[in-house]
Amino acid sequence: MARVLLLIAFIVAGFQVKALDLDASFESIDGGTLTLSQWDGQTVLVVNTASRCGYTYQYSGLQTLYDSYRARGLVVLAVPSNDFKQELASNAEVQDFCDLQYEIDMPMTGLSHVKGPQAHPFFKSLKEETGFVPNWNFNKVLIAPDGNVSATYRASTKPNSLRLLRDLERVLK
């Protein structure tokens, strides 16, 4: 209750409050680190992925979406996770699979937890702010250029779905 009152006080005082942790570092599958804040002012679609899932074919649609909208500021960030026991054992295996099968060039993190007590800080903050927790692979989170969650989607929402494309058009600059 105290946290809610504090947030309300900040909002009333004119402070912009962002509960999402956009500064938490992800390991990049290419080495180094990635943060969502490095794309501040851009639209970001965060997708928890897995290489051995019935929805893995969505990698192709995600790459097409990235290719189609990146010039307008869209970033598609793939977050491989084995939380649902359908991901390969290492970052190198995931990267090789994505390169060979889908020719992925969108940004991709290293293996990360997306739910539970070991969830990456971004996913913990997503749960706190919106109540959204990935319940399977290929759940999607659309983050608007202002850093706020614009929409969330379950695995069955394909990258070329009318709903996702309509939401994307609405938030792109």
Predicted TM-score (pTM) of the model is: 0.89
> Do the Cβ atoms of 79 and 115 come closer than 8 Å?
no
Give per-residue pLDDT as tens, 38-57: 999 999 999 999 999 999 99
Annotation marks residue 98 as catalytic: no
Q: What is the largest CA-CA distance in the chain?
A: 52
Domains in the chain and their CATH numbers? 18-171 (3.40.30.10)
Catalytic residue among 29, 46, 53, 76: 53
Which amino acid does the sequence have at 32?
G
Give per-residue pLDDT as tens, 80-98: 999 999 999 999 999 999 9
